[in-house]
């Protein structure tokens, strides 16, 4: 755990969050600065700063993040309208919290290319 990391502190229960999903590896909760009617974050419990720190040993974890997000999207009623998954990497890629996380966005149309 990185004590300076807000997501590590949420995982540890030091910062309150209403968890929408939790298993041995992941937690999910609403983004406090949501950019869509549905904007959830899927976060590994283990601190990984960004994708460049993930390796072959993390393939199952990364896949689990996607399947968990899909189940959350289904539970949020997005199966008919669709959703977007976003994982930013480093500042130039839009990452603002340096703990690997997956954004699940839905409930409105999205344009391409993204901003």
Stated as kind and residue range, the H or E segment containing 109 is none
State the first-to-last Cα distance of the chain, in angstroms, to the nearest integer: 32
101 in catalytic set = yes
Tokens of 93: 């890629």
The catalytic position among 39, 50, 99, 101 is: 101
Q: Give the count of beta carbons closer than 10 Å to the beta carbon of residue 58.
A: 17
| Catalytic annotation, residues | 101
């Amino acid at each position: 755990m990185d004590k300076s990391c807000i997501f590590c502190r949420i995982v540890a229960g030091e910062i309150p969050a209403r968890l929408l999903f939790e298993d041995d590896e992941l937690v999910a909760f609403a983004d406090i600065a949501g950019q869509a009617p549905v904007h959830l974050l899927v976060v590994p419990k283990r601190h990984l700063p960004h994708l460049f720190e993930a390796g072959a040993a993390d393939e199952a974890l990364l896949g689990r993040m996607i399947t968990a997000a899909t189940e959350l999207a289904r539970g949020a009623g997005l199966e008919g309208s669709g959703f977007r998954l976003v994982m930013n990497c480093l500042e130039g890629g839009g990452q603002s919290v340096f703990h690997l996380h997956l954004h699940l966005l839905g409930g409105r149309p999205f344009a391409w290319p993204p901003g």
